[in-house]
Amino acid sequence: MRNRWIPITFLTLGAVGLIAAVVSISVGEEGVQEIQLEETGEVQELIAGIPQLDSRLGNSDAPVTINLFLDVQCRVCADYASQVVNPVIADYVRTGEAQIILRHRPVGTKPATLGAFGTLAAAEQGRGWQYAEIFMLNLDQVPELGVDEDFLNEVAAVTPKLDTGQWERDVLDEGVRARAQEDDELAAELRIPGDTAFVIDGAGGSETLERAPPLADVIAAIERVQ
């Protein structure tokens, strides 16, 4: 599957004039520091040292490719990622047995989310997985009205080795926003519902697991396609 996407417009809702207002990025502005993020050490322990390129985590020549369709902005999905996705990363991606590609699949009606934009902008620097993990681990810090640019800023500010200046530019780039929507379109094409799902490919075949499958089912599928 492709890892790069053809640039298109920001949201397909005719909201071109709202781009700057919706994603106005300024890391470190006065007032942003009210959000206190945690668990960055835990994320580094999970991710550090594993090769990253764009949305891929793991060695490009790994025998198994896992396409993970996930909404990083969904609290239930974030809990699931902690319980199921992270053990897969630790036991299969870190060991070189698999590579995993994060595909953004919103559970709501929007074709893309601010969380997807922030994650994909960080992925431009090979830091997308750290950004996504920190983002999900701290969803309890999201303001009452939902994810906003301040929350995106705070996650960027604590993402290890992320050039926040470059991230600010990338998060506004049409190509980054296009990739988020293309992931959603790919999921629709594959008839994957708006829930966490896996498409796992290997020499032994391909398997699709939908609706947040348990860890045992994911592991069994990986073993079968190797």
Residue 4: Cβ within 10 Å count: 10
Amino acid residing at 10: F
- With a pLDDT cut of 90, the percent of the chain lying above it is 77
Q: What is residue 213's DSSP assignment?
A: -
Q: What is the pTM of this model?
A: 0.84
Instruction: Convert the pLDDT of each residue in 173-189 to its tens digit.
Output: 999 999 999 999 999 99
List the Cα angle 173/29/115 in 5-degree steps: 40
Indicate whether 145 pLDDT > 70: yes
Look-up of token digits 């492709």: 2
Structural domains in the chain, CATH included, are 33-225 (3.40.30.10)
DSSP state of 53: E
Could you tell me if 212 and 195 are in contact, meaning their C-beta atoms sit under 8 angstroms apart?
Answer: yes
Cα separation, 112 vs 97, in Å, equals: 30
What does pLDDT average to over the chain? 87
CB 12 within 8 A of CB 154: no
